[in-house]
Amino acid sequence: MTTTNAATARRLGGLMLCIALAGCGGDEGPADDPTLVNTEAGAVKGRVEAGVRTFLKIPYAAPPVGELRFAPPAPHPGWDEPREALEFGPGCPQIAEGAQEPSGDEDCLTLNVWAPDDDASHPVMVWFHGGGFVRGASSEPQFDGATLAREQGVVVVTLNYRLGALGWLAAAGVSGNFGLRDQIAALAWVKANIAGFGGDPGRVTLFGESAGGSSVACLLGSPAADGLYHAAIVQSGGDASSLPALGDPDRDPEVSGAEIVAAVGCDGVPDPLACLRDVPADALVAAGGEFDLLAPVSVGPVVGDELLPEQPFARIAAGAAPEVPLLVGANAQEFGPLPELLPVADEAALKAILGLLFGELAEPLLKLYPPASFGGPGQALAALLGERTFVCPALALAAAAPQPSWSYLFAHTLAGEAGVHGSFHALEVPYVFGNLAALPQGVAPTAADEQVSAFMRDAWGRFAREGAPGEGWPAHAEGGAVMQISTSPTAMADVDAGRCAELAALGLVP
């Protein structure tokens, strides 16, 4: 049987199965079996536990292998029998945190669904994981959506997308952004299928942190994603106004892409794309670089193709993006561990580092971030990098959004010695999901942690249900108010003490 005939036979078989199970196209399965749901590609069999229906490892696209490597995601060919959806799928190829060798599998374009076990139609929250576009997976324990689904009455979706060179390479005749195309394909899957899981395809909130937050901003900036979401939350998403752009003489992603092509031995060959498709995935993972908060890797979203024709910030600020509610923020000490990782001896050493990073702006930056005001030169450097990279771009995006927007600064810290690094990058994620057992450094959650998590779960859930994070949280336009999140959340008008305006005047932030 030819491949085409085999695929047709599978689809016909799936159609017959759907008819037998009472309908296709994202409809629910038999009324007496809440664990069985039909999707466009076939039925999936999950489980029910503590009032939540869970479905794991559902394919939303065909495996991106062979001719589909470095190509837009293709529809999955489907399956005949109900597909067991009880275990997470592998993450996409990467070098995971703390690992020495690559892991993951190219057959990784899957998503997971947690839904309340009832007959109502619920808002949907779609999560995009972080990891610098080179690592991370939807299966991380902190992203478990059961608590949000059960407590907030939402359907939670988490997904994998292609990482590293496999997801973002811009070279050899391809413009990159395959990871972003994966994310859009997953949103299209949600629109077509989520009703069968009790989700409302007309109420979809995007949320993500770090590279996931940047992904949300890119989706706001991509015309191809219009109509697939209705609200957005950007957590520590960085600067959406200065992504690498094709043809940029200072930061052309095709230049770094060419280095990756050369590193795997595919430069100078007659058909470099065919060569790249034959290279072992592990070699491409290694060539794409590892995650380093201080030294961004050479892969990620690029501006200048049909997917991202302009900087996301520019599209949002111009009112060209869909006018949807926006919640955006960052953490108070994003680079909290930096003084320990990169000790700075004294003010002279700090000035030298600033000169290497910012050239002639070193002197005004030293005046703006004097070591005496931040507890030392290392802490001053950490404050500068945190505000320049995350805090100030978040506030600028909230101010630029034409629709009502809300902003936050996560200022809660861990108890005891674990709190020495402050509210560092990604600390807020377990609080948002209510998965405090996944707090970093094995910290046992305290009553204060539970209190902060309850506040965030309520605010994020309200935002998904109502388009606003709740009473007592003023919109950002009302005097630039920012909700400082701690055990006593407080709306503040000047969380950055005016430094963001100074950085903007120096041309370092929007």
Tell me if residue 263 falls in helix, strand or coil.
helix
Query: Where does 377-428 have alpha helices with state H?
Result: 377-386, 392-400
Are 213 and 234 in contact, with CB atoms under 8 Å apart? yes
Are 478 and 464 in contact, with CB atoms under 8 Å apart? no
> Residue 300: which residues within 8 A CB-CB, separation 6 or more?
132, 133, 168, 211, 214, 243, 244
Phi and psi of 124, rounded to 5°? -115, 140
Q: What angle do CA 365, 371, 372 make, to 5 degrees?
A: 130
Tell me if residue 202 falls in helix, strand or coil.
strand
- Which residues are identified as catalytic? 210, 334, 425
Name the one residue in this structure whose structure tokens are 């993500």: 208
Of the candidates 25, 34, 24, the one whose C-alpha atom is nearest the C-alpha of residue 119 is 34
The H or E element that residue 267 is part of is none
The H or E element that residue 18 is part of is helix 3-20
Return d(Cα 301, Cα 502) in angstroms, integer: 28
Return d(Cα 368, Cα 60) in angstroms, integer: 48
Distances (CA, A) of 193 to 41, 77, 122, 456: 10, 16, 13, 28
Helix (DSSP H) and strand (DSSP E) numbers for the chain? 18, 14
> Residue 282: which residues within 8 A CB-CB, separation 6 or more?
93, 101, 102
- Backbone angle region of 48, left / alpha / beta, with phi > 0 → left and psi within -120 to 50 → alpha: beta
Tell me if residue 434 falls in helix, strand or coil.
coil
Are 397 and 312 in contact, with CB atoms under 8 Å apart? no
Q: 439: how many CB neighbours lie within 10 A of its CB?
A: 21
The H or E element that residue 36 is part of is strand 36-39
